[in-house]
Amino acid sequence: MLDIVFVLQSACLWIIIADFIAWRISVSYVISNFTQTLRVDIYDTARYRVVAKMATSDVLIVAGAMAFMPLQSLDAEFRIWNYQAGFIIGISTAICLFMVPLIGARHSISMLKSQKLADLIKLRSAIPKKDVAQLEAHLSHEDRIRSIPNWPIDLNLITRIIGYVIIPPIAWVGAALVEQIVNAN
């Protein structure tokens, strides 16, 4: 009877997890489609940072859920295969929830950049070749547009994600190794 309770508990838990993941992925696709149609000023792509923060929040929720996985073996021996399904689903879900909404924003930013660069290249042909100051100003403007990142992500965001997603599994492995050493002695 006790085994049936644990199997039913695991089944209910995985149904809830699957439902949540399906819901968040569908929300991510809707946001991706919305950001593809969103037109913003190419000089101010800060509106897309909200999408990046949402994607980061989803990754952090998945990482937080994965951090609870060791609770399932508090009274048992650490066995890595007990965590395989959680790692596979957690990591693939985190990647999907991070990339899907940002792909739409990337597409929109790339389109805005290419349109603006095409307009600037057309305008460059009208600048007299002897007017070096105006030509240099125009070329530096083109370089500035080219240097705008296609992804609405800053480096602080990436380091925060790496810190929250990579450090907990390393801590789990370290704790398991210490437990094995203590139990061996």
Q: Residue 104 corresponds to which amino acid?
A: G
| DSSP assigned state of 73 | G
Q: Which residue has the higher pLDDT, 39 or 128?
A: 128
pLDDT at 132: 87
Number of domains in the chain: 1
Rounded mean pLDDT, 160-170? 72
Rounded mean pLDDT, 150-155? 78
The span from the CA of 136 to the CA of 131, in Å, is 9
Alpha helix positions (H), 70-154? 84-124, 132-147
Model confidence over 5-16: pLDDT tens digits?
A: 877 887 888 888
Whole-number average pLDDT of the chain? 82
Rounded mean pLDDT, 41-48? 80
pLDDT at 177: 75
* CA neighbor of 104 nearest in space, from 173, 142, 185, 47: 47
Q: Cβ(32)–Cβ(48) under 8 Å?
A: no
Q: What is the DSSP string of 21-51?
A: HHHHHHHHHHHHHHHHH----TT--GGGHHH
Q: Cβ(102)–Cβ(152) under 8 Å?
A: yes
The reported pTM is: 0.71
Q: What's the token pair of residue 52?
A: 């990046």
Domain of 89, in residue numbers: 2-184
